Amino acid sequence: MGAAKADDGDELAASSRHVRELLSATTETLRLISAHPGDLKTVFHGILAKAAELCDGEAGSITLNDGGSIRYMASHGPAMEPYVGTTAPAVSADANLFALSPAGAWYTDDFAATTKGTAYFEEVATVGRVRSYAAVPLIHEGATVGALHMYRHEVRPFTEDELTALATFGEQASLAVANARLFKDLGESLKLQTAMAEVLRLISEHPGELRTVLQCILAQARRLCDANQGLILLLVRDDDTVAVAADDNPTGSMTGRILPATKAFWDIDQPVMAEDVLSLFAADDRSRLAEFVREAGNRSQMIVPLVGRGRHLGNVILGRREVRPFTSAQAAILQAFADQAVIAVTNAGLFNDLAESLARQEAMTELLNAVSTARTDLAPVFDVLARHADRLCGGTGALVSMRQVDGLVVVAGAGVIAKPEIRGNAIPIDDSTLFGAAAKHREIIHIRNWDDEPAERYPDAPSRRFGAKSALTIPMVRDDVALGVFAFSRDVPGGYTDAEVSLLKTFVDQATVAVDNARLLIEIEKRNTELAESLELQTATGAILALISANPGDLRKVFDGIVAQAARLCDADSASISRIEGDELVLQATSYEHNRANVGVYRTPIPREQDAWSGVRFVDDLA
């Protein structure tokens, strides 16, 4: 188990390092785009260099579509340099020849073998020495305008992380194309350049502060498009609702407002302009969307979708208080800002993934340290586990219970649910609580919404009694026996993600290791104590036998040796030997120094019930 945990730690560290490197590289390329907004050649060379570095590519190129042809705009590595500045027919390969990664990258392990039979591709494979190959499309306004290609001169397939990184650089190349085209179409407006540079600078300097960046994007877009208000809506909660992620409304903030993800939201796949948005709703329409539009107070409105890696992430909206339609030029400006918003959302995700990964590493390190130093005191392990689990998974509490004779007892906790009255009370191992049910059935129990559960199900569960909305219990099982149960809860419905359950399960596994270690140490210490006592008894017995052998006629000296050894081995304050003489017991020896003068003198009557003096007797209190 220890080796497996070490492998998990190495994998987590490698993943964190990759995310950190990708975040650093994307920050540098964003600065490059910001510094050279119309210079595609410089920007493309910078993007290719970073993409090759992070994706371990030996060559690369960026092509742009030019009518029925493609033009090679930039290359990385000498193999593809002869193609730069040239055009080639836009030859289409059978899509079935390439695989598509979850991040949207097309790839093949062996380009030369896959495209054999197509003259142009065979030429590229030969001249460019292309074997393993990956590419991502450059998308602008919903259309493919080019591609970012990465090559290796040997058959060495690209990994999932490398394909994801390539998709990120493809998005940045798309942004560079969008910026360059927009500046050309609008005569390289100084205002637009300044606004774009400001947004890109903000994205690079505040990668994890999404709201700050989105607010800046809205402010710049509203100013350049002469709008009264701006909103950015992002999908949340498994794509069934949208939230106002940022707004630039002079009359009052709407940030944080939740709305249903209606068909009207999903149908927006390109810029949409409404001359009078209020006319789209009947006067008696009281739907949440209609009320939201009325509250916003817009008449003319323009909406552009936020699309990243083929997925609808949200919408950016600009509005005017009067009926004054937006123009197509203003739609192009808003589209450019929408592209930047997508970059900001992606960057924030990378940054937060890195922060979360580092936090998990820190938590795992502290937990492993607690396990390694716990020995038989498990309290520090349970405290660390509860505290980090509650913090990393954003819950309202975590409780740790251990099995005892009459049930489970809560021994540690964190968060608001860790109330003092919970600790110490025995929880029965039955279906009345999540604790008991998890221990009884030795399985994970996940409550995503207490409001959906019948009242008779787990009626005494602490998380239910204290107002939590969702809960999770994970038993600590060893040899098909539940040693304890770990419980987690939240004050919002929805429960825990698969990744969070996996993390918490890892924490519980580490706690199980600590319990096993403690039990093993207790057994070892008990055995060592028994061996020490046995050895000490043998030594004492040997000493007495030696005393008997050396003093065959001196009974007093032998008795003195016996009481001394007995008192020491039994941790007694005194020991004595009395001998029966007639109907009395006469003191023969004592280890109690102040009573030695009474040896041979002190007598006590023998009780009538002599059986009471046969065998061993234990008296707790002679008084």
Note the pLDDT tens digit of each residue in 362-379: 655 665 566 555 555 666
With a cut of 90, say whether residue 105 has pLDDT above it: no
If pLDDT is split at 50, 70 and 90, which confidence band does 167 have? very high
- Return the pLDDT at 165: 92
Residue 538 placed within a domain: no
Query: Looking at the structure, do residues 340 and 384 belong to the same domain, yes or no?
Result: no
pLDDT-wise least confident of 52-66, 215-229, 272-286: 272-286
Tokens of 85: 């500045």
- Return the pLDDT at 96: 62
Query: Looking at the structure, do residues 177 and 212 belong to the same domain, yes or no?
Result: no
For 285-325, strand residue ranges (E) read: 300-308, 311-320
Residue 3 placed within a domain: no
With a cut of 60, say whether residue 237 has pLDDT above it: no
> What mean pLDDT do residues 247-269 have?
73
- C-alpha distances out from residue 28 to 46, 119, 441, 566, Å: 9, 38, 53, 81
Instruction: Write down the H helix ranges in 393-443.
Output: 434-441
Residue 48 placed within a domain: yes
Say if residues 417 and 488 touch (Cβ distance below 8 Å): no
- Return the pLDDT at 503: 76
Give the global pTM.
0.46
Query: Looking at the structure, do residues 247 and 155 belong to the same domain, yes or no?
Result: no
Residue 543 placed within a domain: no
Separate counts of helices (H) and strands (E) for the chain: 15, 22
Of 276, 287, 378, the closest CA to residue 323 belongs to 276
- Return the pLDDT at 56: 93
Q: At which residue do the structure tokens 């796949």 appear? A: 269
Query: Looking at the structure, do residues 348 and 253 belong to the same domain, yes or no?
Result: yes
Task: Pick the last residue of a domain from 354, 374, 394.
Answer: 374
- C-alpha distances out from residue 539 to 318, 545, 591, Å: 93, 10, 19
If pLDDT is split at 50, 70 and 90, which confidence band does 610 have? low
Task: Pick the last residue of a domain from 185, 216, 240.
Answer: 185
Query: Looking at the structure, do residues 360 and 399 belong to the same domain, yes or no?
Result: no
381 vs 21: CA distance, rounded Å: 33
Query: Looking at the structure, do residues 359 and 317 belong to the same domain, yes or no?
Result: yes
Neighbours of 348 (CB within 10 A): 19
What's the total number of domains in the chain? Answer: 4
With a cut of 90, say whether residue 130 has pLDDT above it: yes
Please report, as a single letter, which amino acid is at residue 544.
Answer: I
439 vs 442: CA distance, rounded Å: 5
Of 294, 269, 295, 268, the closest CA to residue 280 belongs to 294
- Return the pLDDT at 621: 53
Query: Looking at the structure, do residues 565 and 516 belong to the same domain, yes or no?
Result: no
Residue 192 placed within a domain: no
CATH code of the domain containing 282: 3.30.450.40
165 vs 51: CA distance, rounded Å: 7
Interval 329-362: pLDDT, tens: 888 888 888 888 888 887 766 545 544 555 555 6
Interval 492-514: pLDDT, tens: 777 787 877 887 787 777 777 76
Task: Pick the last residue of a domain from 350, 374, 398.
Answer: 374
HSE-CB at 557 with a 13 A cutoff on CA atoms is 11
Q: Which burial class, exposed, middle or buried, applies to 397 when counting CB atoms under 10 A from its CB (0-12, 13-18, 19+)? A: buried
Tokens of 431: 């279906």
If pLDDT is split at 50, 70 and 90, which confidence band does 52 have? very high
- Return the pLDDT at 183: 65
Sheet containing strand 143-151, edge to edge, reads: 87-89, 69-76, 59-66, 143-151, 133-140, 106-108, 99-100
pLDDT higher at 197 or 121: 121
pLDDT higher at 195 or 232: 232
- Return the pLDDT at 612: 52
Q: What is the DSSP letter of 474?
A: E
With a cut of 90, say whether residue 546 has pLDDT above it: no
pLDDT-wise least confident of 218-222, 383-387, 514-518: 514-518
- Return the pLDDT at 448: 86
Query: Looking at the structure, do residues 501 and 471 belong to the same domain, yes or no?
Result: yes
Tokens of 463: 């998380």
- Return the pLDDT at 35: 84
Query: Looking at the structure, do residues 441 and 413 belong to the same domain, yes or no?
Result: yes
Angle at 500 between CA 245 and CA 380, to 5 degrees: 120
If pLDDT is split at 50, 70 and 90, which confidence band does 49 have? very high
With a cut of 80, say whether residue 22 has pLDDT above it: yes
Chain-wide mean pLDDT for the chain? 79
- Return the pLDDT at 188: 46
Residue 4 placed within a domain: no
Residue 194 placed within a domain: no
Say if residues 298 and 320 touch (Cβ distance below 8 Å): yes
Beta strand 99-100 with 87-89: parallel, antiparallel or unpaired?
A: unpaired
With a cut of 60, say whether residue 317 has pLDDT above it: yes
Range of the domain at 562: 551-613
- Return the pLDDT at 345: 80
- Return the pLDDT at 354: 47
If pLDDT is split at 50, 70 and 90, which confidence band does 443 have? very high
- Return the pLDDT at 1: 47
Query: Looking at the structure, do residues 74 and 64 belong to the same domain, yes or no?
Result: yes
Q: SS3 string of 600-619?
A: CCCEEECCCCHHHHCCCCCC
- Return the pLDDT at 185: 58
Interval 268-312: pLDDT, tens: 778 888 888 888 888 888 777 777 778 778 889 999 998 887 788
Residue 511 placed within a domain: yes
Tokens of 362: 């820190």
Query: Looking at the structure, do residues 167 and 226 belong to the same domain, yes or no?
Result: no
Percent above pLDDT 70 for the chain: 78
Percent above pLDDT 90 for the chain: 15
- Return the pLDDT at 387: 73
If pLDDT is split at 50, 70 and 90, which confidence band does 470 have? confident
452 vs 434: CA distance, rounded Å: 15
Query: Looking at the structure, do residues 100 and 64 belong to the same domain, yes or no?
Result: yes
> What mean pLDDT do residues 538-554 have?
74
